[in-house]
Structure 1
Amino acid sequence: MANYTVLVTGGAGYVGSHVVVELLNQGYTPVIIDNFSNSIKGSGSKPEVLLRIERITGKQVTFYEGDIRDKPTLQNVFKKHSFTHVIHTAGMKAVGESIIMPIEYYNCNVGGTICLLEVMKEFSCYNIIFSSSATVYGPPDFLPIDETHHVGRGITNPYGKTKYFIEEILRDLTTADKNWNVVLLRYFNPVGSHKSGLIGENPQGIPQNLMPFVSQVAVGRRESVKVFGTDYDTPDGTGVRDYIHVLDLASGHVAAVNKASEGCGLKLYNLGSGKGYSVLDMIKAMEKASGKQIAYNLAGRREGDIASMYANATLAETELHWKAERGLDEMCEDLWRWQSSNPNGY
């Protein structure tokens, strides 16, 4: 195996920490940069995460505290390591918050990416794997949604637009300069945690995503879940989404590192399970995993929500030799192990 040294931006966050564990387990050398200053509703990266990664892997983690918008800090990190790849997971990620704070989202997500790309070019590191999102598709014209679906139309929030704009920047970059190899990973909905229960999703404030909220109800931190929309054209009337185990997501990043190493140019892949589960399906699965009854209240639709969204992930299976291996029960069991072991997060 090639000895790749991989900078993971946002490597102390939810997805980033699981990616770092997978890289270490596969024999790569990850280096983390994270500023620990997630927005109020962000994923809540904390210094404790680094100690837990080391406990899980038995390996030391190289870490720098810094913001990717701070060019001198980035340059200093690049001077100390000969990076072969960057996995770019840093960014603000709460949909609702992005509507209230659009300038901050554009500054952090788009501005931070441009700064990162400038420093990568300066140090001749031309391989980047970017954490994009299924939000770039907007409302789906067909299901399951594949990579041929149009992007950028009907995106309802600044968070999704920042992902779309960054994709376009990276697309233009590969057109202009053939040195670059870019893999865009369009995540669906990550769920679960590492088997150890030591690292997991740690939302600050009120969780913006369904499953952290459901698990907090199960552990007694919150009274009930509000289910928005009960009259969608779905089997039980509630919204249907594609959920993917965070460990499957992490292994997808390692597969993407290997793809970039082939000199792939621009590639884009859905990372999803290919299955749709409703809100009520997810609540029932969490009840089964936790052995707790989860109270929920039915409410009207939220503006901007869509009925169903799930992936066709066959391109990733064909080209990355990757597919989601873990099912719904395992996602919920692992989420419950994390939540019950860490009822208040890190």
Structure 2
Amino acid sequence: MKQSAAERPDPSLLRKAAIATGRAMDHAGRVLVKPIPGFTLKGTIFDTLEGAAARFVMKTRIGKEPHWHATEADAVERSYAKAREDHPLPEVDPALIRFLIDECDFDVEHAEGSFLDHLYFCFEYSVHHYPQHSPVVSLLHSILGTGTNTFAMEAKKIPALKEHLTDFEWRHIEAFPSVLRLLYDLPLRRELRENAHRIDRLERVDFRRVIDNEPISMSGEDFVIQLNYQLIHLIDFLPAANWATHANDTAFILFRDLYDLMKSTGMLQADVGYVPPGRLRTLKGEKPSLRALLPTLIPVPLSERMASKSVRTFSERIGHDMSYRLTWR
């Protein structure tokens, strides 16, 4: 599906619901979740995954889509229209849009539609629910690399990109792919939790840029802001429904852990509502095959270790050093 960066896509109902409410929601009872006929990973950002098991798990997790009950769909459309009326979207710098059109390749599919659909969702959510900081960061958060080694532009174009950004926007855009990988890996989250009592004394975080392994040094204040951008990004990867059953989905695991850490330490700045799922595993409005149910049986700790191994493998392939250092006052 060829798209132009100049054209803002109409969000899916799932995205409209998140934008309208400022919440990550389990839509069980509001939707029917069905497999996408003939779905494959080819042409998606996950096509670079290797190994039959990993590809099967990912295909099963993302190869489905929600179908909304008519009354629920109407309610979402109305609430979204009201939200857009209350918060008109700002214009993106035309010169930046021209750069995206001429110099970048976004012609790849995403978990819910296209890659551009995802970027514009994050942009729009940020406009509504993280107005303290520039939504351009959310619009371009993956331009320097996704977690699966797909790149919308080459590193040699970085100087040209920076001409269209503020210093703040550039700091967060260049850091985003690296921080995402570090969050999926386990040591960073573990160290942040161990130091939760002194998060306000985090002075600096040092790590390496994904696209070219150049060093990055981010202040503690900026790092907290970065985590808020990361949390917004993760909303778009959550299961549409039946969260208790899909609790081992790696994006959902990371979202839950990061949300809890940020909420408990006062780092949560963005408006992100979330109610954890109960323990009862149900499948309301979803009837997967027995084979498709198998990935839901993977224990959460094992799923986390698999995700950690995966991001490290992707970084090793491109010579990206995943070491980091936290400096405290």
TM-score, with structure 2 as normaliser: 0.33
Larger helix proportion, structure 1 or 2? Answer: 2
Higher share in strand: 1
TM-score computed with the length of structure 1 as normaliser: 0.32
